[in-house]
Amino acid sequence: AQSVTQLDSQVPVFEEAPVELRCNYSSSVSVYLFWYVQYPNQGLQLLLKYLSGSTLVESINGFEAEFNKSQTSFHLRKPSVHISDTAEYFCAVSYSGGSNYKLTFGKGTLLTVNP
């Protein structure tokens, strides 16, 4: 069965510090990988995605994630966080072929940026 593991349920950091949110997935087939962010009382917003090509993908607000096929990982990083990055982050996977209609999500990582 498809599964996504986010290794940390909560990550507290200080403002301007670097952060890494970890994500591993289980799969033996081609995958598409996503990071979504959820602010309180809101839906999910797509942060970045890996479909194919370069294994390093970036978002417009300074986040980046690297697809590592051998380690089945897609960790999210930011070199310097802001208070406004406080939110819950979800890693998700969908699979190529006929089953790419759904996303399988991890349990989420709550990133709290403290001043």
Partner 1 sequence: KAGVTQTPRYLIKTRGQQVTLSCSPISGHRSVSWYQQTPGQGLQFLFEYFSETQRNKGNFPGRFSGRQFSNSRSEMNVSTLELGDSALYLCASRGGSNPNYGYTFGSGTRLTVV
Q: Which residues bind partner 1 (CB under 8 A)?
A: 32, 34, 36, 41-46, 49, 51, 90, 92, 94, 96, 100-108
Q: Closer to partner 1 by CB, 57 or 81: give it.
A: 57
Q: Hey, CA dihedral for 57, 22, 36, 63, is it positive or negative? A: negative
18 vs 38: CA distance, rounded Å = 20
Number of neighbouring beta carbons within 10 Å of residue 46:
11
Q: Closer to partner 1 by CB, 19 or 31: give it.
A: 31
Q: Closer to partner 1 by CB, 72 or 81: give it.
A: 72
Q: How far is the CB of 33 from partner 1 (least distance, A)?
A: 10
